[in-house]
Amino acid sequence: MSKKPVVLSEDLKSAVNHVNNDVVYDLPRNASYLEIAETCIDAGRLETWGHKEADEELKRLVEEHGYMPVLRAVAKIVCKA
């Protein structure tokens, strides 16, 4: 696994925000940012919402950095939404 910081492209950030805006209302009010982030990126939701390239980038980042570092990076995006 890479020790470099996880850098998300603007396209991936935008895709995460799009999915977040659609799924956040289905989550419990007390859901953590990690839980919200996981809901956004899990089960191919990025591709399902029409963001195939972002989903491919996500998979590459997970291969390079591991799941948890990528999830934490995505959580930083959803906490700003």
Question: CB of 34 within 8 A of CB of 71?
Answer: yes
pLDDT, position 23? 85
In sequence order, the 6+-apart residues with CB closer than 8 A to the CB of 2 are: 64, 65
Rounded to whole angstroms, what are the CA distances from 10 to 6, 31, 54, 60, 74? Answer: 13, 25, 10, 15, 12
What pLDDT tens digit does each residue of the chain (81 aa) get? 767 899 999 999 999 999 999 888 888 989 999 999 999 999 899 999 999 999 999 999 999 999 999 999 999 999 876
In this predicted structure, what is the pLDDT of residue 40?
A: 93
Q: What is the pLDDT of residue 80?
A: 76
Global confidence as pTM: 0.90
Tokens of 4: 């470099």
Q: What is the domain partition of the chain in residue ranges?
A: 10-78
